[in-house]
Amino acid sequence: AQKITQTQPGMFVQEKEAVTLDCTYDTSDQSYGLFWYKQPSSGEMIFLIYQGSYDEQNATEGRYSLNFQKARKSANLVISASQLGDSAMYFCAMREALNTDKLIFGTGTRLQVFP
């Protein structure tokens, strides 16, 4: 069964610096997708970025990029030029299995950006 592991319960970063949030996954499928979501203190879940297993390039969306290392089964989120508004919980997710849309989530990393 698929599994997502986020080993960093909390991370601190100074404003304008870059930060990497780790995510490793376990799957026996060849085709899969990885997602990152942001959850601010207000509670909503905001989609950030997607990486497909067959995508040749690492995904990027503005200040977010995904460092995808397939052989290591890692999909780390990189946030460049951190802003105070980036302070939030960040969740890595993937589909539970090839034949379903159910997402399974990691336990999340709480990022705090300080001035």
Partner 1 sequence: DSGVTQTPKHLITATGQRVTLRCSPRSGDLSVYWYQQSLDQGLQFLIQYYNGEERAKGNILERFSAQQFPDLHSELNLSSLELGDSALYFCASSVAGDILAKNIQYFGAGTRLSVL
Taking CB under 8 A as the binding criterion, the range among 19-27, 65-73, 76-84, 95-103 that sits at the site for partner 1 is 95-103
Q: In DSSP terms, which residues pair with 20 in a beta bridge?
A: 78
Taking CB under 8 A as the binding criterion, the range among 12-20, 31-39, 64-72, 74-82 that sits at the site for partner 1 is 31-39
Question: Cβ of residue 50: shortest distance to partner 1, in angstroms?
Answer: 6
CB 12 within 8 A of CB 21: no
Closest C-alpha to 24, from 70, 60, 86, 78: 70
Question: Cβ of residue 14: shortest distance to partner 1, in angstroms?
Answer: 29
How far apart are the C-alpha atoms of 15 and 4, rounded to whole Å? 28
State phi, psi for 37 to the nearest 5 degrees.
-125, 150
Per-residue binding string, partner 1, 40-59, x by CB under 8 A, is --xxxxxx--x-xxx-----
How far does Cα 96 stand from its chain's mean position?
16
Interface with partner 1, residue 12, by CB under 8 A: no
**What is the residue type of 114?**
F
Residue ranges that bind partner 1, judged by CB under 8 A: 31-33, 35, 37, 42-47, 50, 52-54, 91, 93, 96, 98-105, 107-108
